[in-house]
Structure 1
């Protein structure tokens, strides 16, 4: 039997868009004959994914999972919301999110991990799903958070099932206190992050380029008022504090009650939790954010489909 090299598998993957394990099996079944392996994949429907790879996938689902002080979040895109409502697609997202939790959100490690109940890896299972369901899919991003002592709370907005929806949030809280009460606070903070979309936990965490750009804009506006320099600086600092109240989590008004500043709400929760609480970070994935969507001309699409 011909030796199946990594280079040969790579070449077949590039030709067909098939998954790594599928390509390896195709070459084994055809004694290393590349063209025969291509035909084998086509007959199995596993090369069809390559034809769909260029199509925009901006729908889909965000998945979250958490356990034992660790949480993971993942976005799997499809072309249409119809597919996102498909039970098979939802199971796929849930399964891969669980793998992301095991792999600490490392996307490459997730793609290479064995898919449960299959002889394929995750990437190969996605290729198979593309061929089966008939739409392009993209495992776009994954991330994870861990705390040494505390909780990573999760929240899903517009949930379609447990842990799956259109927007997902993780919030990491460190505390030696009551974990159940800490989880309740974390869930509320995650809901706040979903609604308020902060850019950082604290002013110190905020990208300093963003702060300086905002400061420069405010300085130009203040100077235009013609006020003395010392007054201008006070105006700038006052407006920067207001800017922080808009974009920094701990400085925002807590959406749960609409009154308390988040850092005060966290401090207030410490008595119930029974220990100090530190907000270590958050991650927020909104489905399709940043993806440039194709503008479709439905009339032209129908005309093209019915011509000749």
Structure 2
């Protein structure tokens, strides 16, 4: 199939490889971006590339704590300009508070929640009309805790990334926030290695096996290499084993242990992850408006 320059650039941006390597990888896998990343990793040309690197929807995340319940939401708009609009920011604050207090079990229930007699759904529709861009509540999640536990919340870049953490065994809110900041920065995928899905484990194991074989290592050495590399992989994606961002000499689990706590769970939202970026050609848009 024909590979476009846009695809090559996207893969280069994700993996840092050269143009020819990116194009060759895409040709080999018929243009499948995820398979192209795996291909480059198996050849030892690229490290793991996050799918989030390919997205750029606009909007913000927000958090709100209501007693033993905490909420995190993502509200989307079409442009970054609107996400900085005061009306949009006010809407975000109202929605996240209503969700934390209302504790909806589904998106349908969340949109039906009322604030001063008006549903969130109608508030969003009205804001869409006033602001002039489509606005949508993309997702939300609620966490609940015991009285002896503590929430941590952190927003990065004005809400581009939002994190909630739930730490058990301590009331040290500062420590819980520090862990939330760590999650925002290092983006762990799981709390601990015991939580890693079999699918993820097998996928990475296959890549590491192909990489070792492509390096020309003998079979008996490959097995030992894979074991060591998979152990490193599990540590890198597990929050408890990551080097704590504020003190790399201790892991996150070790840091929390000094506070008498353990991490129970976390939620990390990054605006637009998994969504297609809106592609606008400004020159074409202007020409269209002028009737040319």
Above 0.5 in TM-score? yes
Matching residue of 1:3: none
Quick one: distance in 1 between partners of 2:234 and 2:190? 10
Matching residue of 1:138: 136
Going from structure 1 to structure 2, the CA distance change for 1:81 and 1:212 (only over 3 Å counts) comes to same
Taking the TM superposition and a 5 Å limit, the aligned residue runs for 1:1-308 are: 58-104=57-103, 106-114=106-114, 116-117=115-116, 119-148=117-146, 149-159=148-158, 165-175=159-169, 177=170, 179=171, 182-223=172-213, 225-229=216-220, 231-270=221-260, 277-307=261-291
In structure 1, the gaps of 5 or more residues are 1-56, 160-164, 271-276
Aligned length in residues: 234
Tell whether the 8 Å contact from 1:100 to 1:107 is kept in structure 2 after alignment. no
Q: Secondary structure at the match of 2:248?
A: coil
Quick one: distance in 2 between partners of 1:167 and 1:140? 14
Tell whether the 8 Å contact from 1:62 to 1:166 is kept in structure 2 after alignment. yes
Task: Detail structure 1 runs of 4+ shifted over 6 Å in the superposition.
Answer: none
Q: What TM-score results when the alignment is normalised by the length of structure 2?
A: 0.75
**Which structure carries more relative contact order (alpha carbon 8 Å, separation 6+)?**
2
Q: What TM-score results when the alignment is normalised by the length of structure 1?
A: 0.71
Tell whether the 8 Å contact from 1:76 to 1:137 is kept in structure 2 after alignment. yes
Going from structure 1 to structure 2, the CA distance change for 1:237 and 1:304 (only over 3 Å counts) comes to same
Going from structure 1 to structure 2, the CA distance change for 1:81 and 1:222 (only over 3 Å counts) comes to closer
Tell whether the 8 Å contact from 1:71 to 1:153 is kept in structure 2 after alignment. no
Tell whether the 8 Å contact from 2:193 to 2:235 is kept in structure 1 after alignment. no
Matching residue of 2:27: none
Quick one: distance in 1 between partners of 2:269 and 2:219? 44
Q: Find the structure with the greater CA-based Rg.
A: 1
1:216 Cα deviation after fit: 2.2
Q: Deviations over 1:247-298 (max 9, x none)?
A: 111111111123322122122222xxxxxx2211100011112211122111
Tell whether the 8 Å contact from 1:250 to 1:262 is kept in structure 2 after alignment. yes
1:99 Cα deviation after fit: 1.3
1:156 Cα deviation after fit: 0.6
Tell whether the 8 Å contact from 1:174 to 1:279 is kept in structure 2 after alignment. yes
1:223 Cα deviation after fit: 4.4
In structure 2, the gaps of 5 or more residues are 1-55
